[in-house]
Amino acid sequence: MSSPPYRLLLCDLRSDQVLDALPVQDVALDDYIGKTGRLTGTVPIPNRELAERARRALLPGRTGIWVERGRDLWWGGILWTLTPASDERGFLGAQIQAGGWESYLYRRLLYDTQIAEEVDQFDIARGLVDYVQNTPGGDIGITYDAAPSGVARDRTYLRYDLHSIGELLDQLAAVEQGFEWRIASYRDSDGRRIKRLQLGHPTIRVGASDVVLDHPGPVLSYTWPVDATPKANAWQTRGASINENQAEDSFPLTSPLLVAEDDIAAGWPRLDGSSDYTTVERQPTLDAHARADHAAALNPVTIPEVTVLLGGAITPALVGSTIRLRIRDLWHPTVLDARYRVVGISVSPPQRGRPETAQLYLEAS
C-alpha cells in the first residue's frame, strides 16, 4: 500500500492567510524537543501554471508552511531557502528548506532591557515570546497557556548583549529545576491551525497511553550509542567578567568546583568539564547553571534510535510521549522491556525497495 501524499499548505507568515496548496516530493522532516526541526522537499514544476503559483507562494522568510500528510497536519515552520533547479533530463523542481516555528525566535534579538524579580520561569519565557510578538511585524500567531512551573527566577537581560530570544529561552531552560520548550503544530477541535508554545517542567510529556514497539517486529532496526566523551565528574562554570576597579585586571565570576566524589570512588577516572555563561552576573544564577550542567554531564550520553515503519500510531505527534520498547537479540538475551520518552522524530522518504520510515530518538523515561 502506498503512503498518503504530502501537501504543502503555504500561508502568509504573519496572518496565516492561505496563499496556495502545492504538492511536494521527497519530503524529509524532523521535529525535536530541544532542537529546531527541519523540512526539506521538492515542489515539482511540470508546467507554466504551477511555476507561476510556486513563484507567488514560495517566498523565503515570508511564507509559513504547514505540511499535510493525507488529512493530518504533521509539521509547521518557516520557508527560509528556495532553490529552483533543473536536472539533466529537464525536469524542473523548486527545492525548499524550512525551519520549525522556533527558528523565528532565533532570528529576533532583544533590543530592550528586561528585568524579572521572583517571577515564575514559565512567565519569563512567555514574556520573551510576548516581546517578540508585540513588536510591529513580529506577531506570527504563537499561542500558549498560563500554567505555572512553580519555580521563581530573578533575571536581568540587558539590551547591550543583543542575544536572540531563542538563545535566552535556551539559557533560561538550562538551569537547575529548569524546563523544556518547543512550538507544536496541530489542528484544534474546530480545525484551526495552531502554533502552541509548549513548556514542560522538568520535561514535556504528552499522551496518556504507551505505544508498544517490538524488535523483531515493528522496529526494523536500532542503534544504541553510549558516548562518554562529554562525561565529566568535576565541573566549574564561568560567568560574566567582574571588574569594579578599572585599574585592575578583570576576572570572570566562577562557580564553586563541583566534584562527584561518589563517582570517583566507584572507579571512574577524574574527568573535568566546564561551561560559560558570559552574561550571567549573579552568583546564585551561575551556581544553578553549574549544578544543572554538572548533573547533565555526569553520565555517558545515551540516545537510542529506533527505525520503524511510518503510519498508524507513528506520527510526529509522538514527540513528548512515552513508548514501551521490547528488544530480544544477541545483545539483549534477556528481553529489554523498558519505557522511553520520544524526544525527536525524523521522517525519511521512501526509496526504491524501501518504504517510508521514521527514526525515533529516545530518552529513558
DSSP string, 78-117: EEEEEEEEE-TT--EEEEEEEEETHHHHTT-B--S-EEEE
**Confidence band for 247, pLDDT divided at 50, 70 and 90:** low
Closest CA to 158 of 282, 274, 248: 282
Is residue 144 predicted with pLDDT exceeding 60?
A: yes
Is residue 1 predicted with pLDDT exceeding 80?
A: no
What gap in Å lies between CA 186 and CA 121, rounded to an integer? 25
Span 265-294, average pLDDT: 95
Backbone angles phi, psi at 209, to 5 degrees: -125, 150
**Confidence band for 279, pLDDT divided at 50, 70 and 90:** confident
- In this prediction, residue 52 carries a pLDDT of 97
Span 75-80, average pLDDT: 98
CB of 157 within 8 A of CB of 168?
yes
Q: For residue 316, give the DSSP letter.
A: G
Is residue 222 predicted with pLDDT exceeding 90?
A: yes
- Residue identified by cell 537510542 is 304
What gap in Å lies between CA 239 and CA 274, rounded to an integer? 11
Q: How far is CA 131 from CA 12, 15, 128, 260, 303, in A?
A: 21, 18, 5, 40, 34
Is residue 246 predicted with pLDDT exceeding 70?
A: no
What gap in Å lies between CA 165 and CA 129, rounded to an integer? 8
Q: How far is CA 216 from CA 4, 168, 266, 292, 308, in A?
A: 26, 43, 36, 38, 11
Q: Is 351 helix (H, G, I), strand (E, B) or coil?
A: strand
Q: For residue 267, give the DSSP letter.
A: T
pLDDT tens sequence across 155-214? 999 999 999 999 999 999 999 999 999 999 999 999 999 999 999 999 999 987 789 999
Q: Is 69 helix (H, G, I), strand (E, B) or coil?
A: strand
Predicted TM-score (pTM) of the model is 0.91
Closest CA to 345 of 211, 217, 229: 211
Is residue 139 predicted with pLDDT exceeding 90?
A: yes
Partners of 194 in beta bridges: 186
351 or 227, higher pLDDT? 227
Which cell numbers hold the place of 75?
Answer: 509539521
Q: For residue 318, give the DSSP letter.
A: G
First vs last C-alpha separation in the chain:
34
Is residue 285 predicted with pLDDT exceeding 60?
A: yes
**Confidence band for 360, pLDDT divided at 50, 70 and 90:** very high
Greatest mean pLDDT among 60-69, 87-96, 233-242 lies in 60-69
What gap in Å lies between CA 361 and CA 363, rounded to an integer? 7
Please name the residues in contact with 227: beta carbons below 8 A apart, sequence gap of 6 or more: 300, 301, 302
CB of 307 within 8 A of CB of 359?
yes
